[in-house]
C-alpha cells in the first residue's frame, strides 16, 4: 500500500465517523441515509459535470462495476439495519466486521491479490481491535489499584489456561435472525468491495464514484417505495435539514477519498484499514463529548494502531 493510499483511506475513515455522527441526530435513520445519499449524488453530479464532458459520464465499464458494487453495498446496509433490529450490539457487531476476511478470499480468486503475512496480521489486529472497542470483550483486566501487578500476573496465567476471554458470547446462535442478518451483511459487503476495486481500476475514479452513489441511492429509494415509506421523507427533511445536508456533504467526501486510496491499495487492506473509523469515533467521543475512556479501550485502540502499521508495512 502506498503512503498516498494509506493517507486517503485514513481520511475517509474520519469522514465516515463524521457523517455517522450526523446520522445519530436523525429520527428515522434508514430514511436519513437515503437523504444523505441524495445530497452526495447531487454534489457528485455538480463536480463531474463541471470537470468532465457529459459523454465521459456514460463509460460502460464505470456503469457496470458501479451497479454491481452499489447493489451489494445496498444489501450490506439493509442487512446491517435488520441485524441491529433483531440482535444485541455485542452479538451483531463482531459478525458485521468480518467482511475483510471474505474479501481476502474473493480478491485472491477474482482479481489476483496476494496479501503478505505482515498485511494479513494487520487485518486480523484491526478487526479484533474494532470488535473489542465496540463490545468491551477484550480481556477482563483488573482495576489499577494496590497490588495490581500481582493481579495482572495472575490474570495472564489464567488467560493462558482458557480461551473464554477471546470467544464470542455464548448466546450466539446461528438460528438467531440477528446473527443470520449480520452474517449476510458481511458476506454481501465482501462482494461489493471486490467489485468496488474493479470499478476504480476501470477509469476515472470520480465518475465511477458518482455512478456508485447514484445506484446506491436508487436502490434505497426502491426499498422506500416498496415498503410504502415515501411519506417519511418529507417528515425527516423537516425534522433534521442541517444534519442531512452536512451529513450528505461529509458522506460525499468519505466516498471519494476512500476510492482514491483504493486505487493504490488491495481491497482486503483498504476494507480493514477503514475500520480505523472506530478509533476515530472513540477519539471524538473523548475530546468533544468528554466521554470516559477505559483501559480496555486504550488497549483496543493500540491494537488497531498496530494493525494499521502492519498493513502499511505489508
- Per residue in 124-139, pLDDT (tens digit) is 988 888 777 766 666 5
- What is residue 307's predicted lDDT score, i.e. its pLDDT? 87
**pLDDT for 210 beyond 80:** yes
- What is residue 303's predicted lDDT score, i.e. its pLDDT? 86
Q: Report the chain's mean pLDDT, rounded to a whole number.
A: 81
* Percentage with pLDDT > 70 across the chain: 81
CA distance 109 to 121: 20
Q: pLDDT: is 155 or 292 the higher one?
A: 292
Average pLDDT over residues 245-265: 95
Average pLDDT over residues 221-246: 92
Q: Kindly give the residue spans of alpha helices, DSSP state H, lying in the chain.
A: 3-24, 29-51, 60-86, 89-96, 99-111, 117-135, 148-160, 177-201, 205-226, 231-239, 241-262, 267-273, 277-287, 295-313
- What is residue 28's predicted lDDT score, i.e. its pLDDT? 85
- What is residue 149's predicted lDDT score, i.e. its pLDDT? 43
Average pLDDT over residues 224-228: 92
Is pTM beyond 0.95? Reply is no
> Worst-scoring range by mean pLDDT, 1-15, 67-81, 166-180, 281-295?
166-180
- What is residue 308's predicted lDDT score, i.e. its pLDDT? 86
Amino acid at each position: 500500500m502506498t503512503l498516498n493510499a494509506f493517507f486517503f483511506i485514513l481520511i475517509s475513515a474520519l469522514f465516515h465517523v463524521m457523517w455517522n455522527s450526523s446520522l445519530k441526530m436523525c429520527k428515522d435513520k434508514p430514511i436519513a441515509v437515503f437523504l444523505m445519499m441524495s445530497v452526495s449524488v447531487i454534489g457528485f453530479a455538480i463536480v463531474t459535470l463541471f470537470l468532465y464532458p457529459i459523454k465521459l459520464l456514460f463509460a460502460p465499464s464505470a456503469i457496470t462495476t458501479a451497479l454491481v458494487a452499489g447493489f451489494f453495498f445496498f444489501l450490506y446496509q439493509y442487512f446491517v439495519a435488520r441485524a441491529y433490529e433483531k440482535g444485541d450490539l455485542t452479538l451483531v457487531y463482531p459478525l458485521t466486521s468480518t467482511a475483510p476476511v471474505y474479501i481476502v478470499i474473493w480478491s485472491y480468486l477474482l482479481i489476483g491479490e496476494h496479501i503478505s503475512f505482515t498485511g494479513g496480521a494487520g487485518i486480523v489486529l484491526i478487526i479484533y481491535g474494532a470488535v473489542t472497542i465496540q463490545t468491551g470483550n477484550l480481556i477482563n483486566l483488573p482495576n489499577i489499584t494496590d497490588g495490581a501487578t500481582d493481579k495482572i500476573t495472575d490474570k495472564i496465567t489464567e488467560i493462558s489456561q482458557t480461551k473464554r476471554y477471546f470467544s464470542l458470547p455464548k448466546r450466539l446462535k446461528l438460528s438467531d435472525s440477528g446473527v443470520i442478518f449480520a452474517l449476510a451483511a458481511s458476506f454481501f459487503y465482501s462482494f461489493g468491495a471486490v467489485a468496488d476495486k474493479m470499478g476504480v481500476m476501470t477509469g476515472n475514479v470520480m465518475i465511477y464514484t458518482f455512478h456508485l452513489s447514484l445506484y446506491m441511492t436508487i436502490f434505497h429509494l426502491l426499498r422506500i417505495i416498496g415498503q410504502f415509506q415515501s411519506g417519511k421523507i418529507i417528515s425527516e427533511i423537516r425534522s433534521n435539514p442541517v444534519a442531512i445536508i452536512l451529513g450528505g456533504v461529509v458522506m460525499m467526501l468519505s466516498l471519494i477519498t476512500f476510492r482514491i486510496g483504493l486505487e493504490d491499495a488491495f481491497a482486503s487492506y483498504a476494507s480493514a484499514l477503514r475500520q480505523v473509523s472506530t478509533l476515530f469515533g472513540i477519539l471524538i467521543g473523548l475530546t468533544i463529548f468528554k466521554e470516559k475512556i477505559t483501559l480496555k479501550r486504550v488497549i483496543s485502540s493500540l491494537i488497531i494502531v498496530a494493525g494499521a502499521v502492519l498493513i502499511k508495512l505489508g
